[in-house]
Structure 1
């Protein structure tokens, strides 16, 4: 399903990028990691983002009837690729805002290289590294995903509450991995636990036995992996299973997704814990669930809710700013996202346009959770944990 969805997403985005852009088109750039270590997540994210654009255009368009379009650039979850990709969006395509990047390193590179100098607002649906919040960004970089400073702490608290006091830890050597591992390790030690071994790994290797052996030698029987399932993190998991030295595994959102079990013997992963930002429950989630079902999409896909919310919020901010240029979008974003205001749910574009035109405050309630941007453009949120149980990944609810 993912491969088919990716093909459709890429094909659709390619057509959008190749089609002649009319004078009244308003362009949002998609700085999307459609290749690289999170390519398995990207299809659902791109599809959801384009669904938000479809909802806008089907309800009268933007700024008095203009057409909202997406322009795709592949950042490949890599800062080296993200720089030129963002440059094309900002300086060649002249987008008014950017959805993305997905990986933290890609977001940081795209922001520093082009978006910030070009006065372009970005909203990332998936860049969780603490370093994103530390950018000198002129209030241009936002994200509607829970940062790793929360996910890492909650993961540590969960293991400690379950009686695990010693772990081995490995993380992909980039902003995402080091940030999440750092938050986890600090909280785990502060709570009385011991990190017996803390080993960085690089993606793209065939053999991770040296890293695994170093962790084995520490005596750890619980292995925490903060990496990507279809890159180094997944290879480490496979080789650690073969080694047979670990009785428990834990991973973050980068290890989640359908491929985790589809390419492995589920019995080998029985009891594995995964953490991920919790989607909202209630009217907002239900509204997006209905929209995605009608479009043949899955609302429960990784970062699907965050992706839809990010693009719908950008559209609302452009509408609120009153012009198809880059000025004023940052300030307008908080106006449409943060309380107070009349509540807008996913898909309620016509209602939002009417209220904005009347000068009425609105408050978009996201399917990914309540979106209230703080001073650095972050949102608060909750963390769910999942357990591999009986051959399936089961949502066990919030980490309290």
Structure 2
């Protein structure tokens, strides 16, 4: 078996300039279609991904050479097969590319660091559209990928899970789908997520609104999909439970040329706080319309992760200093290693984009479960997801991820401690606790005020 040159050994020899040179020379493999616009806030806008070579036999498990495992046992060299299904165009064209980079970073890192495992992955763009997502998921399943990192939009994740992943026995792990509706999905154990449910985020937003912004009345303006309506409903419930008054609940469709009417309806009773949930694609138009008709002093606004974008004030043409926000952030034991790897690969700070750490963790957990299963079989991988993530066993972090694969494959019990969190799954595949950024928009981007820990 040919020995792979390890990423960290290369980096030590080349320094910063060499790293930049390597990144600039990366080419997309045959299994990784590139989209025309892979820019956004993640890196320099280039498509930096590389798909590792696929196994020529098609089953990914034909390499019969063995290496010493993590506990001294023999581990068979083989290929781990992974699908990546994420929206990098459409409504998530601003947020999606850095999240994709987090996923591909994990796959490339394991492939380069491991002398035993090859990681073969294929990317499909959902265009933040359920029908396109279903088509992409079908392509991955048809190509023989037993596990999928994705999707991003909650609506796309629910549709791809119900129509493709669950019926075909394929494990799906989303790094960014936060809708509470996912919790109660009848998924037969095939759907997981490394990001917390918005049932938690709604509590955090309410706490900030009631205690820090001293608001007693609120209104909601929410995107009409599973993400927008799920978070808005949870927020309304949390706000009323906290003794506040919800004056108006207004929904909107994406891609409208104007949101003046919806804003007028939401703000007609002059709430202390307006909660807006959506994506930057529509958010730019919403905030332009807001500042055309209202001043920053009219009311405070609070937004969730879907509207966290450093380019938003510039695109809107306003400092947006009356806009506050929350977003799941990465504070896991492997955060420092992940930050370093991401910075080296993309010359960008991952903390400037939401869900990058969660994306790395989704791929890492799937790969560890695959290694523990010993085969590219969805049911076998599903049965190992909790085992490799939850408490008990040898600690595996992003730093020793390649060694973790060998330990899991040799039968050693492992406990993945991620970049975003400890990645502890409950009995329905949700993360039970999370840390949220509390941030505020300002000229040129946003400022993180503090991190808030929250658990169910």
Give the TM-score of the pair, scaled to structure 2: 0.81
After TM superposition, the structure 1 = structure 2 runs for residues 162-311 of structure 1, keeping only pairs within 5 Å, are: 162=212, 163-231=214-282, 233-244=283-294, 246-267=298-319, 269-280=320-331, 283-296=333-346, 297-300=348-351, 301-311=353-363
Q: CA deviation at 1:392?
A: 4.2
Secondary structure in 2 matching 1:2: coil
C-alpha separation in 1, matches of 2:365 and 2:194: 10
C-alpha separation in 2, matches of 1:310 and 1:359: 21
Pair 1:3–1:369, CA change in 2 (3 A)? closer
Q: CA deviation at 1:155?
A: 0.2
Match of 1:86 in 2: 137
Match of 2:448 in 1: 395
Q: CA deviation at 1:260?
A: 1.4
Give the TM-score of the pair, scaled to structure 1: 0.91
Which consecutive unaligned segments of at least 5 residues does structure 1 have? Answer: none
C-alpha separation in 1, matches of 2:126 and 2:119: 22
Secondary structure in 1 matching 2:266: helix
> Are 2:157 and 1:95 equivalent residues in the alignment?
no
Match of 2:13 in 1: none
Pair 1:294–1:312, CA change in 2 (3 A)? same
C-alpha separation in 2, matches of 1:81 and 1:190: 38
The number of residue pairs the alignment matches comes to 389
Q: Name whichever of 350-359 and 217-226 sits farther off.
A: 350-359
Corresponding residue to 1:53 among 107, 128, 151: 107
Match of 1:141 in 2: 191
Pair 1:75–1:188, CA change in 2 (3 A)? same
> Are 2:56 and 1:22 equivalent residues in the alignment?
yes
Provide the aligned C-alpha RMSD in A.
2.1
Match of 2:71 in 1: none
Corresponding residue to 1:158 among 185, 203, 208: 208
Secondary structure in 2 matching 1:355: helix
> Are 2:413 and 1:378 equivalent residues in the alignment?
no
Q: CA deviation at 1:196?
A: 1.2
C-alpha separation in 2, matches of 1:346 and 1:254: 26
Secondary structure in 2 matching 1:369: coil
Asked if 2 retains the 8 angstrom alpha-carbon contact of 1:28 and 1:96, the reply is: yes
Asked if 1 retains the 8 angstrom alpha-carbon contact of 2:252 and 2:262, the reply is: yes
Match of 2:91 in 1: 37
C-alpha separation in 2, matches of 1:58 and 1:111: 30
Secondary structure in 2 matching 1:37: helix
Match of 2:159 in 1: 109
Pair 1:270–1:195, CA change in 2 (3 A)? same
Match of 1:345 in 2: 397
Question: Which of these two proteins has the greater Rg computed from alpha carbons?
Answer: 2
Match of 2:416 in 1: 364
Asked if 1 retains the 8 angstrom alpha-carbon contact of 2:370 and 2:381, the reply is: yes
Q: CA deviation at 1:241?
A: 1.2
Q: CA deviation at 1:6?
A: 8.0
